[in-house]
Each structure stands twice: as C-alpha cells, then as structure tokens.
A = this chain, B = another copy of it.
Amino acid sequence: MMDDAIISYEKRPDLNSPVLIEGLPGVGNVGKLAAEHLIDEMGFTIFSRIYSKHLPPQVMVDEEGLVELVNHALYYRKGEKGQRDMMVLTGDFQGLTPEGQYVLSEEIVKLAEELGTSLIMTLGGFGMIRMVEEPSVLGAVTDPGLRGDFEKLGVTFRKGEPSSGIIGASGLLLGLGGLRGIPGICLMGETSGYFADPKSARAILEVVSGYLGITIDMAKLEEKAKQVDELTSRLRKDLEESEEEERRSEDLRYFG
C-alpha cells in the first residue's frame, strides 16, 4: 500500500530546538502570504518536500516547463546571535479530505518531533466578513504559559473565539503537536476574507518578529497591501458611480 506521505530530503539540517511556523492556504490566504514573505526576506533554505496521496493528484509546471509534484515544502534558517532556529512549512494546498488533513498533519508533527521542535506557530486569517482597516491579531494556545508573552506583543485572546474552532492544518498541528508535548500557538490576523490580505499577513509577522527577536523587512508586503487598497478603493468608487448612474437613470425614468 502506498505510504500516506513520502518525505524527501534535499538537505538534512542540524537544528537546535527550532520553532516550526506553518502558513498554508486559508482565509484571506493570510498564513501563506506571511510564510512566503518570511522565507523570501529572511534567507530560508528548503530542506524537505512532503508528497502525499492526500494532496491533489497533479503536477504543477514551472517557468522552465519543468513539472513538480504537488507538495508541502519545509524551509529552515539557523538563528543568528542568540536567535532561535526556525522552520517554515508552506505549500499550495491543504489535504483534500478531513482524514487526509489529519494524516498529513500527523506526519508533519512526527517530523517536527524528530527535529526537536520546541514550539509550533500556526498562522492564519480570522474572517470578519466586513472590511478591516487595522487588523488585530487573535491568538489561541495549547499551553496557558504562552499567553503572557504574546499578550505583551498585542495579541488578543477572546473567550471561545473563533467560535467555530480552528480548521485544517493550523488547528491540527497544534492539537496533534500538543498530544506529543510540543507547545503551540495559532496567530490569526483579522481579515475581511474577501481577497488575499497582505495587511493582515503583515500584522501577524509583526508578532512573529517581536516574539522571535528578528527584524523582517516589510516593504514588499506593504507594496502588496497598497495594491490591494488601491484595487478595493477603485472597486468601491466604481460601485458608487454605477449606483449613482442607476439612480440618475431612475430619476429620468420618472420624467420619461
């Protein structure tokens, strides 16, 4: 029988109690945007790809016409001057089925345990179903001792929120990690949920950088956020104009 996951190593890093940061697709794509920005800006190196029958049955084609089987990729970065070692997990898809999501998360948590992971941080969006100007960051933890440090960084812990729980890898990595004794926190950036939200990703990364004592250049995320802002304000203007026009033609109709 085919294994649930095939874990291939491009390089086996020697890490010291690393922090694992997850950012897979989800609400507002907040987690994935944050994870990819972190990888791009902080000099991460890919070290492993996880292939699985629980991911979509397809290959992606790159700029050179080369195919790559759909996967979850793991990157690492050795900490500088007292910083902690870090790993980032990202990918184009979550597991396709509920059972597949469990199986994939369990594989990742097992790997994390083998690599001596000391903390799991999962990143995601918290859908507000309304426009959000200044996104707050909501937190949920497996270990009450983690709350204090994150509250100092502005993270809020709201009673029983999100009320529907945390779904997918961001929830399962914490839950299954907790069963193996690895503490974890989920950071959720408020987002409308209507489009990919770099502003929310940035809000999360501010917390990550504060907690881990690293400096992340936010220029590219800010640029993307500006583009989204322009797009939405243009969209809003267009909507207002077309409403205005409609009103006028309705007014005319009364005279017709």
Contacts and interface: CB of A to CB of B under 8 A. Distances in A.
A67 B178 contact: yes
Contact of A144 (B64, B141, B166, B175): B64
17 contacts: A1-B3, A2-B103, A51-B179, A53-B99, A57-B95, A57-B98, A57-B168, A57-B172, A61-B163, A62-B160, A67-B166, A67-B171, A67-B184, A69-B174, A69-B179, A70-B165, A99-B100
A185 to B, nearest CB: 9
Interface of A: 1-4, 6, 8, 51-54, 56-70, 95-103, 105-107, 139-142, 144, 147, 157-168, 171-172, 174-176, 178-179, 184, 186
Q: How many copies does the complex hold?
A: 4
A6 B102 CA distance: 12
Contacts of A139: 65
B65 A158 contact: yes
